[in-house]
Amino acid sequence: MADGSQHSMAYVAESTYGVTPATPTFKAIRNKGTTLALTKEGSADEELRDDRQITDYRHMNRSVGGDITINLSYGSFDDFLEAAAMGTWDTDKLVVGKTRRSFTIERKFGDISDKPYHRYTGCEINTLNLTVAPGTRVSGSFGVIGKDMSPEAAALSGSTYGNATTTQVFDSFKGVIKEGAASLAVVTELTLTLDNGLESRYVVGSDSTIQPGAKRSNVTGQLSAYFENSTLLEKFLNEQDSSLEFSLVDAAGNAYVFTLPKIKYTGGQVDVSGEGAIILPLPFQAVYDETEDTNLSIERVAA
pLDDT of 177-222, one tens digit each? 999 888 887 899 999 999 999 999 989 999 899 999 999 999 999 9
Residue 133 has pLDDT above 90, yes or no: yes
- Beta strand pairing call for 255-265 and 297-301: antiparallel
Q: What is the mean pLDDT of residues 250-261?
A: 96
d(C-alpha 138, C-alpha 128), whole Å: 13
Poorest-pLDDT segment among 114-128, 175-189, 272-286: 175-189
Residue 121 near residue 149 (C-beta atoms within 8 A): yes
State the sign of the Cα–Cα–Cα–Cα dihedral 45, 47, 50, 55: negative
Residue 175 has pLDDT above 90, yes or no: no
The pLDDT value recorded for residue 267 is 96
State the sign of the Cα–Cα–Cα–Cα dihedral 24, 14, 258, 171: negative
The pLDDT value recorded for residue 250 is 95
CA-nearest of 238, 254, 252 to 77 is 254
- Report the predicted TM-score, pTM, of the whole model to 2 decimal places: 0.95
Share of the chain above pLDDT 70, in %: 100
The top-scoring range by mean pLDDT among 104-108, 184-188, 224-228 is 104-108
The pLDDT value recorded for residue 101 is 98
176 pLDDT tier (thresholds 50, 70, 90): confident
